[in-house]
Amino acid sequence: MEAERLATIAQVAAGLSHESRNALQRIGASAEMLELELEGNATALEHVARIQQSQIHICRLLDDLRNYAAPVVLDRAAFRLSEVWREAWELLHAQRQIRQAELREYLRTTNLIVEADRFRLVQVFRNLMENSLAACVDPVQIDVTCEEARLGTAAALRVSVRDHGPGLNDEQRRRSFEAFFTTKPTGTGLGMAISRRIVEAHGGTITVGNCPPPGTEIIITMPR
């Protein structure tokens, strides 16, 4: 049933993307032309900027919807799991360069090697850190803790990503990985749902931790 539901969403996403792309491109080009025509008119340029932000939001929604519904095909290779969250942090340089943000690592094992899809896991950690940056006020502290774990009888690594933001209420905890649920005014509500699909495709788990507020903790357990 889940596969059929995702296949239906994928068909809808493909159709929406195809039908909307030309219109969105025209909106973008027209907005750029208006910027030139309205140079010096601060109020009008503010309205143009809102049009452009709305266009970007719609494009992101269509991309996220397609990524959510598409089959997760993994390209596995061996690497240190710490490389993934560090790369994700670097990819957020533009968002955090105007913020007071610090990433702190607590490594409780020396063996961080996993066989996984690096690109996909970077996507997961980038989403988690992006959520933390959006939820927290400066100074932002994001703590990543990695330790040995078990998944059934298999060796695994458990990674905790915790921030010092306001935390989640009961509904937010319950619906964190639900598609289209978001607490951000410009969020698509698909980031955490996509992250869960990626982690579960690896045979791992992703859950909301039980840390007391303030702060939010997401725990990823990855098989080696």
CATH of the domain at 48: 1.10.287
Residue range 140-163: mean pLDDT, rounded: 96
Model confidence pLDDT, tens digit, residues 90-142: 999 988 988 999 999 999 999 999 999 999 999 999 999 999 999 999 999 99
Residue 45's pLDDT is what?
Answer: 92
Are 218 and 107 part of one and the same domain?
A: yes
Are 64 and 82 part of one and the same domain?
A: no
Residue 179's pLDDT is what?
Answer: 81
Are 111 and 208 part of one and the same domain?
A: yes
Are 142 and 107 part of one and the same domain?
A: yes
Are 65 and 105 part of one and the same domain?
A: no
For the chain, the domain total comes to 2
Whether omega for the bond prior to residue 166 falls within 30 degrees of 0, making it cis, is no
Residue 12's pLDDT is what?
Answer: 74
The residue from 69, 95, 124 where one domain ends is 69
Are 156 and 218 part of one and the same domain?
A: yes
Are 84 and 62 part of one and the same domain?
A: no
**Residue, of 165 and 69, whose pLDDT is higher:** 165
In percent, the amount of the chain with pLDDT more than 90 equals 63
Residue 22's pLDDT is what?
Answer: 81
Write out 167-181 in H/E/C secondary structure.
CCCHHHHHHCCCCCC
Residue 25's pLDDT is what?
Answer: 87
Residue 145's pLDDT is what?
Answer: 98
Burial 60-88 (b: 16+ CB within 10 A, else e): ebbebbbbbbeeeeeeeeeeebeebbbeb
**Residue, of 180 and 120, whose pLDDT is higher:** 120
The residue from 36, 69, 102 where one domain ends is 69
For residue 141, give the amino acid letter.
Answer: Q
Residue range 162-166: mean pLDDT, rounded: 94
Q: Is the pLDDT of residue 220 over 80?
A: yes
Residue with tokens 């935390």: 167
In percent, the amount of the chain with pLDDT more than 70 equals 96
DSSP string spanning the chain?
Answer: -HHHHHHHHHHHHHHHHHHHHHHHHHHHHHHHHHHHHTTT-HHHHHHHHHHHHHHHHHHHHHHHHHHHHS------EEEEHHHHHHHHHHHTHHHHTTS-EEEEEEE--S--EEEE-HHHHHHHHHHHHHHHHHHPPSSEEEEEEEEEEEETTEEEEEEEEE--S----HHHHHHTTSTT--SSTT--S-HHHHHHHHHHHTT-EEEE--PPSSS-EEEEEEE-
Are 117 and 194 part of one and the same domain?
A: yes
Q: Which domain holds residue 15?
A: 2-69
* Model confidence, pTM: 0.77
Are 37 and 115 part of one and the same domain?
A: no
Residue range 140-145: mean pLDDT, rounded: 97
Residue 125's pLDDT is what?
Answer: 98
Are 55 and 101 part of one and the same domain?
A: no
Are 38 and 135 part of one and the same domain?
A: no
Residue 89's pLDDT is what?
Answer: 97
CATH number for 129: 3.30.565.10
Are 129 and 104 part of one and the same domain?
A: yes
Residues 6 or more apart whose CB falls under 8 angstroms from that of 30 comprise none
Residue 182's pLDDT is what?
Answer: 82
The residue from 69, 91, 126 where one domain ends is 69
